[in-house]
Amino acid sequence: MGALDGLVVADFTRVLAGPYATMLLGDMGATVIKIERPEVGDDTRHWGPPYDPAGRATYFESVNRNKTSVAIDMTSAEGLAEARELVKRADIVIHNFPPSNSVKFGLDYASVKELKPEVIYCSITGFGSGAGAQMPGYDLLVQAMGGLMSVTGPGPGQPTKVGVALVDVITGMHATIGILAALNHRNLSGEGQEIEVNLLSSLLSAMVNQASSYVSGDVVPGILGNAHPSITPYEVYQTADRPVVIAVGNDGQFAKLCDALGIADVASDPRFLTNPDRVEHRVALNDLLNSEFRKFGADHWWHNLSEVGVPCGPINALDDAFKFAESLGLNPIITMNQDGEARKQVANPITFSKTPVRYAVAPPSLDEA
């Protein structure tokens, strides 16, 4: 039994933020019906390479398990009638149409509420339903306009996007959280409600300490490469063979680091006594640390520093990252066997003691109900 067994989701989303949210709901037991365009389907069905051994785009595969697919022509009267019938069956309706399209399709909240008063209705946009309603909600665009690129990159004047569509993922998680909260409210009151999430607001919230430095401190942060604006040493250091990350979060860890490096007296240097001192004298401290780290390789420092409680680790490529997770018993990869075919997926990261996530249905072919 899944935590959301018995709930039906009418999923009108495509690309990433919405499909990620509905996959999470499906993993937790909800019945997810993915509505796609005839013949074309979700855009990400065609976003490749890379492809899996059967030629399917791995992008689509990453966020569409535990769903069935229904192809509906939303430009036809027949298609809209079919969509409304699905809405009547659904507990949750989620879409990422531009607001004008949701009205045109008769799938705005007011119209859907008439069909199913107790519905949980979630819309995902790039820049909200007001003045930014018609702006295209692409992750890269929001990373730029929402400030993430302004604090990401190798150095000042070199803004860089994050290596995954992180804003979409964060927004999908916010949509899921909102839906689950609304379901609890419905359980208590019998009332449905409308939920709106957008990529820009989700990013600004997820910028946490960087956003707060502006909102609360009137400081506009910039690019520090791999350094942290408020903690030192908390960055990448080059060893004799490859780089490692050091993530010292308190004075005790710093003393242990200095002792392990053979420079115990540095921990009592007035320039480095406290974290604010270390941040102020970051360059001088890094000069000392770098000269020590270069004496041995990354594995030496990883094992020796970890043993004494100093957060340290190598910079893994994804293959090594998955192997590392496997070595910890985290089981990061699951295999779904369907129609005699084994299809690998990244595991859902949530563990439930009573209602475990399920891996019932591999990502569907178009119109595979």
Catalytic positions are 168
E strand spans, the chain: 8-12, 31-36, 67-71, 92-95, 120-125, 193-198, 234-238, 243-247, 312-314, 333-338, 341-346
User: Which one, of 298, 284, 281, lies nearest residue 237 by Cα?
Assistant: 298
68/11 Cα distance (integer angstroms): 10
Q: Residue 207: count other Cβ atoms within 10 Å of its Cβ.
A: 20
161/333 Cα distance (integer angstroms): 27
Q: Residue 123: count other Cβ atoms within 10 Å of its Cβ.
A: 25
DSSP 39: T
DSSP string for 40-57: T-SGGGG--S-B-TTS-B
Radius of gyration for the alpha carbons in the chain, expressed in angstroms and rounded: 24
32/7 Cα distance (integer angstroms): 9
DSSP 136: -
CA 136 vs. chain centroid, Å, equals 19
DSSP string for 145-198: HTTTGGG-SSSTT-----SS-HHHHHHHHHHHHHHHHHHHHHHHHS--EEEEEE
Beta strand 243-247 pairing with 31-36: unpaired
**In this structure, what token pair is assigned to residue 114?**
């008439």
Work out whether the CA dihedral 217, 219, 222, 227 comes out positive or negative. Answer: negative
